[in-house]
Structure 1
């Protein structure tokens, strides 16, 4: 089946999370994403756990692998004159250049947008810094955790009367920023194809993440109310939480949205002895008592069986999966979500597919994450027109490193 972005070439300077995930989306859709790396300064994810078989190595990180499927890797020393020249030669024939550095870093490398635009006017230059290219905080350093804190997401995550727990880098790095970044790039590619004109895309990762806290911001703007931490409780629904099941660390989520669902839940669980909870307002006022009663009943049930029974009865319920459960989930298996590819060093490895399917095109990854510099010779031959002798000299002089 055809790949929807098979005619697009990306020179990718992104590293770590959000930028690499953005270009993974493009690569899995068929774009030729050439990841520019250096053995002198590794992408942090290359040395981030988990490692295959627990053995560290620049080509053994599962985290890196999942964020870099379907890409090619070229090692270039951009601090050398010839290394910079080779990078520019690659860029001239590309559709898109990406990075998620702090503003000014690409300029210091000699690869700022103004420089590249003069070489290739049709080029799209996508920058994904934390705070954007302008403003008083543009040079601030941060990661997903920092962005979650700045947007208020961390403030709302955790249990009442406890410190903000946060969600690590999960949301900023893996949801809004790659999604918004890929969308902006696709729009610019369409514009480029129709007009021949390039674009400078200035994405502020903090602003993308604000999409995750829209209701809370509206609650403040309209009601002058600041949402705090409430764990799993929903402000208008009860019960709404996580309840223990039989076995070690096995749980189920249950959320009741109306009185009819409550009646169904009590019928399935044999809890009809609580008529005082039949009205939603009464349930909201007695959350803790309901949670305790529910926990006493659910703790004797198998997590998976109870979730299936409640779903069949029309109650929103779901087992709390761990990684083992996710990997064997029958729904994901039926949709072909997991793809196994043979990594040159790690062997058969499992990768995520995209969450969407096309009726007439392929969307799953086509190749495992690249070894560091795996495609340097190939790209030098095929795209730069260098012969073996010239490439050998560049290696010897530390240009291809």
Structure 2
């Protein structure tokens, strides 16, 4: 691992967030050198700690691979903020932090005494990120939701599925993994840059539905311009034909193929030895769109006899967009590009032992960032943070623990 400090070294985050989007946002900062201190309580643990997959299939608060991957490089403290002395500890943590993050519904942090106004009173230049589902104001501001809810509200689920069946959804919470963590991180970096120039902090009000709606750009524009509501089309495409996922030889092996123009069609037809008459009949895009079902049936019959990886390489060499539909084993054990970039990293977790993590998702040439530690155990760094950062003695920590402050 590189010993070069990350580009965010010297930045500290008081991380009150939990579950997906908030944890992923602060993970990005932690992996690039920020001191992220995750605040938890055993009275109401982060839901990800009880979310599979679990190491060796054994459930436990310290055994969730999902939690581990979203919380690498962080320190963790256990703190009962509802206890007056616990609230005091939280305030002291904010006082020595550059950023405070939460993804609760509006009003929760205010009722706890840790809203933006309270944080500003403690540290006037604080950058305060609030990631509620629909923002701090408006008719739906008080609603609580998760990635699945946001996916439905933002139209992703409406667009997912095939034309003659109800919406299928996505089977993963895209809002937690893609739009919201990245938009939130950008907003925080922008606010930090503003503070560097002016000395002023600010409140960031991120409504998680809004970055997710941005994923629906073409559908939104189609309605705004044409009054047309885009229909579900499965793996099909309104213009490119053929376009879909086709079964290959072997157990549950598939390939994705997309033909964008006539030249790619000719290359596909040549590679797969389509007879000359049908090749000529479908050589023009308009004719392919008119016969999309027939073309899909022909292609599915051909690919079923082919090895997915060999066919992908053959088609790519011919200039046809094609890719194997990879599963988890393919990605971890066989993907040469991910291996070359060192995407998969093993860190030794105190309970789970050597555990697989996603490495940082982009590489900086001078300050590359790294996974500095595995996800914290619940409250693992409580004493360290309280004594080394907040100035408490070991005896004071023990006394507070006896009072239930660190539950």
Q: Tell me the TM-score range normalised by the shorter chain.
A: over 0.9
1:292 to 2:311 alignment: no
Deviations 1:146-175 (A, max 9, x none): 111111111111111111011134311100
Equivalent runs, 1:117-196 vs 2, <5 Å: 117-196=120-199
The whole-number CA distance in structure 2 between the counterparts of 1:87 and 1:255 is: 53
2:209 is the counterpart of 1:206 = yes
Residue ranges of structure 2 left out of the alignment (5+ in a row): none
8 Å Cα contact 1:353-1:363 kept in structure 2: no
* Matches for 1:16-165 after TM superposition, within 5 Å: 16-165=19-168
Q: Please tell me whether the aligned partners of residues 160 and 229 of structure 1 are also in contact (alpha carbons under 8 angstroms).
A: yes
Gaps of 5+ in 1: none
Q: Under a length normalisation based on structure 2, what TM-score does the superposition of the two structures give?
A: 0.97
| Structure 1 residue 363, shift from structure 2 partner | 2.4
Query: How many residues are treated as equivalent by the alignment?
Result: 401
Cα offsets for 1:49-98 (capped at 9, x unmatched) = 10000001101000001110010100001111100001100101110000
RMSD value, Cα: 0.9
Q: Determine helix, strand or coil for the equivalent of 1:301.
A: coil
Paired residue for 1:343?
Answer: 349
Aligned partner of 2:266 among 257, 263, 267: 263
* Cross-structure match for 2:239: 236
Question: Is residue 320 of structure 2 the alignment partner of residue 319 of structure 1?
Answer: no
Q: CA deviation at 1:272?
A: 3.4
Runs (4+) of structure 1 moved beyond 4 Å? none
Indicate the SS of the match to 1:333.
helix
Normalising to structure 1: TM-score of the pair?
0.99
Matching of residue 278 in structure 1 with residue 283 in structure 2: yes
Matched, 1:392 2:398: yes
Counterpart Cα distance in 2 of 1:235 and 1:90? 54
Give 3-state SS (helix, strand or coil) of 2:205's partner.
strand
Q: Distance in 2 between matches of 1:370 and 1:96?
A: 20
State the secondary structure of the residue aligned to 2:141.
Answer: coil
1:314-343 Cα offsets, whole Å, 9 max, x none, are 110000111111112110000111111111
